[in-house]
Amino acid sequence: MNDHRHPIIAKEGWPFLALAAILAGLSSVYSVYLAIPMWLLFVFVLQFFRDPPRITIEGDDSVSAPADGRVIVIDEVKDPYTNQECLKISIFMNVFNVHSNRIPVSGIVDTKQYHPGRFFNAALDKASDNNERNALLLTTKHGHKVTCVQIAGLIARRILCYVNEGSEVRKGDRFGFIRFGSRVDLYLPKETKTLVSLGDKVVGGETLVAELPMLE
């Protein structure tokens, strides 16, 4: 087991925290009634950008959750990025979840594809095809093909991804961030065994969501 540690507060949040703190501080000078909602806003921003350390269970054939949230889709579909039949697992992140994204399997980033789009509620099925999104097509050391897609939501307007094509990645490593409510889709080989159920709450980098099939 590896402990993938990161700062307790995500680096993506510092500008927002600074602005919220300034507004709260200034409002405290003028009015306690104005200060209370401003400090509540500061606390909200603080909790949104928290980035606690996670311990990832090693294993070449297991798939860890790429994000915190709730499992909203488990279905057999066609992967729109590889055009292959696969198992799809989708995780919805609300504004109270940790929004750091973590690599689901160790391997190589074959392709990185960014698609501009709309900002529908990320919990809706059409978000997978219509919303702004960024897809990583990964190949594991055993040759499995896995697609991990960051999807912007109704409020989220910025997808951040820090890995590039050709990068070697490790399961549980932090690779990106989506601001203010969003979704991550996983497209896995069709014969993959699911380890979670609809409605389950998962922890990014820690919860195992699937087990990849044996390759001949």
- Identify the three-state secondary structure at position 28: helix
Cα(64)–Cα(46) distance, integer angstroms: 26
Contact 128, 185 (CB under 8 A): yes
167 is a catalytic site residue = no
Among the options 106, 128, 182, 197, which is catalytic? 182
Residues forming beta bridges with residue 139, ordered by sequence position: 108, 145
Using a 10 angstrom Cβ sphere, with 0-12 exposed, 13-18 middle and 19 or more buried, the burial of residue 119 is middle
Query: What are the angstrom distances between the C-alpha of 56 and each of 20, 24, 53, 171, 173?
Result: 33, 37, 10, 7, 9
Q: How far is CA 67 from the centre of its chain?
A: 4
Can you spell out the DSSP letters for 153-201?
A: -SS---EEE---TT-EE-TT-EEEEE-SSEEEEEEEETTPEE---TT-E
CA distance linking residue 199 with residue 10, whole number of Å:
27
Residues annotated as catalytic are 182
